[in-house]
Amino acid sequence: MNAPHPPKVAGIDSTVPAPAHTVASVATGTSPAAPAHPRNAPGALLQDRLAGWVSDLTTLHELTERLTRTRALDEALREMLRAGAALVGARRGLVALEPADGLGPDHMIGLGLAHADLGHFETVPRSSLPYGRILDGLPGADDGIAEPDLLAEKGLDPRHREVAARLGYAASYTLPLVPKTSEPPEASETPMPSETSRLPYAPRAAGPGLRLGAAVWLYDEPAEPSERQRHLVGLYVRYAAEHLARLLELERTCASMATMSEELLPSRLPRIPGVQLAARHRTSAHGGGDWYDALPLPDAALGLAVGSVTGAGPSAVAAMGRLRASLRAYAVMEGEDPVAVLSDLELLLRLTEPARSATALFGYCEPALRKITLAGAGHSPPLLIGERRTEFVETSVSAPLGMLACWEAPSVEVYPEPGETVLLYTDGLLHRTGDPTDRAFARLHAAAAGVPQALRRDPGAIADHILRTVLPEGTTASKATDPTDPTAATDSAEDVVLLAARFE
């Protein structure tokens, strides 16, 4: 059973372990490695069948192990396409993700197909494509659809024929992506005598309402998968659909958390004479409590604030929203005294949420005087970026809000020069670097000092440059205040907030 596998068997790529015994060898009673022995035919037949089962299980095990290592939905879809192509002996394919519950996301991913190639499929009438019939829930499509010779079919849609000829494929095999459920039977249901040997929670095929999409594999020549290949790819795709369903739910949850967090933050920044504002917000996959604010105050003043609430998830996001709303109220009443604003905020946090702590930095900005009065509670110091200096503002060391019985810390005054930018940020910017604190601060300082001259007049461009320079590739999060920002990438465990104010 541990005999070496041939390099390619039944259309399975050599990179995937292939069964050493095929269905054909079982049917004839012979092994591909040795001649038949008539006197031992029953034993040889059984051994050949067992060896084939073991090899098939090994193949599926290794493929599903690769699939379970994927952590993102798109990554899992590409891995499923690659493994399915190896199982059915195809070279290219695509998956159309279109959950039947209508909640999305709806998109298409290709294997060996460029983005423009996928666009050609969208020009074909949906009902003439196998995956279109599956997505529409038409009868007869649940077991898969094979088109062994597309160009020979007389009833083929002319546009479908044209696309097949343009892309160079002559056959296809399509399967629905339908995860199984493991729900217990209803209490009123009585098992039939024939069902007594079944497990009480045996998986049952999910209905059309749970269909995730459809996978298509394309052949360069007329062909179709064998019965054994269909069986193997069917087992694999059913398992893959369950994994995809979990990742889909995770992606939806992360998107909802990011949307909720964004909705709790300012929809736009105020326009104040003498100062330009820009903000960048990166939400973590779990939904964090980092926030920022910029609000007009009486006497042509401006309140600038950043902060972070401990924890993650919906409770942290909700606490962030409450804390930001409270700070806005205190800033309107006594914003000229940042220490009083944070003292009131600390008292509110201690009385209403005693199990939670937070950091905050609030600045009372007077643009006409180019003056900022700052008070911080356990927060990182702002960074002053200019032509002749790039330095951290020296703020007093203080505890986070909610950590002491009574918070108190002196304020400091900052006087930016014309053309200088004051950068406020949360600790997530430092934590995402993966460096110790001192090295993370050094990296931030170097990035700020290295802002190109052409970008220094735009606070948004300064913030984008710092994000690209400070954070390792692939660690910026999924959503930005500016949707066109090129630094938005994969998720991370830390929120990041940057608030930049450039003085004219």
- What pLDDT digit, counting tens, does each position of 66-87 carry? 999 998 899 999 999 999 999 9
User: What digits encode the pLDDT tens for the residues 362-373?
Assistant: 999 999 999 999
Residue 34 or 227, more confident: 227
d(CA 359, CA 74): 36
Q: What average pLDDT does this structure show over 346-368?
A: 92
> With contact defined as beta carbons under 8 Å apart, do 17 and 55 qualify?
yes
Higher pLDDT, 315 or 16: 315
Average pLDDT over residues 12-17: 43
Query: Rounded to a whole number, what is the largest CA-CA distance in the chain?
Result: 104
Least-confidence region, from 279-288, 328-337, 349-358, 433-442? 279-288
Cα(472)–Cα(475) distance, integer angstroms:
6
Residue of 104, 57, 103 lying closest to 239 (CA atoms): 57
50 phi, psi to nearest 5 deg? -65, -40
Nearest to 496 by CA among 432, 408, 417, 447: 432
Mean pLDDT, the chain, integer = 81
Per the CB < 8 A criterion, the answer to whether 310 and 319 are in contact is no
Inter-residue contact 342 to 407 (CB < 8 Å): yes
Tens of pLDDT, residue by residue over 231-287, are: 999 999 999 999 999 999 988 887 887 777 778 888 889 999 999 999 999 887 667
DSSP 8-class letter at 272: B
Identify the band that residue 324 occupies on the pLDDT scale cut at 50, 70 and 90: very high
If one compares 141 and 300, the residue with the highest pLDDT of the two is 300
Distance CA 317, CA 262 (A): 10
For the chain, list the domains and their CATH numbers.
Answer: 23-181+205-255 (3.30.450.40), 264-503 (3.60.40.10)
Of residues 398 and 470, which shows the higher confidence score?
Answer: 470
Neighbour count for residue 459 (Cβ, 10 Å): 26
Q: Which two tokens stand for residue 498?
A: 């940057």
Kindly calculate the radius of gyration of the chain based on its CA atoms and give it in whole angstroms: 31
Across 481-495, average pLDDT = 47
Are the C-beta atoms of 364 and 393 separated by less than 8 Å?
no
Q: What's the token pair of residue 81?
A: 């396409």
Most confident of the following: 125-134, 136-145, 201-210: 125-134
Mean predicted confidence (pLDDT) in 45-64: 83
Q: What is the dihedral of CA 95, 101, 102, 104, to 10 degrees?
A: -50
CA 488/CA 480 separation, integer angstroms: 6
* Residues in the chain, overall count: 504
Task: Give the least confident one: 25-34, 368-377, 383-392.
Answer: 25-34
Q: Which of 5-14, 46-55, 195-204, 356-365 has the lowest mean pLDDT?
A: 195-204
Position 481 pLDDT exceeds 50: no
Minimum mean pLDDT range among 116-125, 243-252, 404-413: 404-413
Residue 46, both tokens? 């059984």
User: What's the pLDDT band for 42 if we cut at 50, 70, 90?
Assistant: low
Give the residue among 427, 433, 431, 425 at the shortest CA–CA distance from 472: 433
Measuring CA to CA, how many Å separate 50 from each of 1, 47, 83?
A: 9, 5, 23
Q: Tokens 């998968």 — which residue?
A: 225
Give the model's pLDDT for residue 463.
Answer: 96
CB distance 143 to 134 below 8 Å: no
> For residue 194, is pLDDT > 60?
no
Beta bridge partners of 497: 281
3 state SS of 412: strand
pLDDT value of residue 202: 33
Check residues 445 and 353 and name the one with the higher pLDDT: 445
Question: What's the whole-number mean pLDDT along residues 206-222?
Answer: 80
The pair of three-digit structure tokens given for residue 384, joined into one six-digit string = 């002053």
- Token readout for 56 is 């098939």
Quick one: pLDDT at residue 375? 93
DSSP E strands in 28-75: the ranges are: none
| Average of per-residue pLDDT across 379-384 | 94
CA distance 3 to 1: 6
Question: What predicted TM-score, i.e. pTM, was given to this entire model?
Answer: 0.64
Per the CB < 8 A criterion, the answer to whether 233 and 88 are in contact is yes
Q: What is the DSSP secondary structure assignment for residue 128, as one 8-state letter?
A: G
Query: What gap in Å lies between CA 56 and CA 50, rounded to an integer?
Result: 10
Answer whether 398's CB lies under 8 Å from 389's CB. Answer: no
Sequence-ordered list of residues with C-beta below 8 angstroms from that of 498, at least 6 positions apart, any chain = 279, 280, 281, 292, 423, 424, 425, 429, 463, 466, 467
Distance of alpha carbon 451 from alpha carbon 502, whole angstroms: 14
Q: Is 244 helix (H, G, I), strand (E, B) or coil?
A: helix
User: What pLDDT sits at residue 495?
Assistant: 87
Pure H helices in 4-40 = 23-28
Cβ 257 vs Cβ 317: under 8 Å: yes
Tell whether omega for the bond before 105 is within 30 degrees of 0, i.e. cis.
yes
Beta bridge partners of residue 310, listed in sequence order: none
Burial 301-319 (b: 16+ CB within 10 A, else e): bbbbbbbbbbbbeeebbeb
Is it the case that residue 455 has pLDDT exceeding 50? Answer: yes
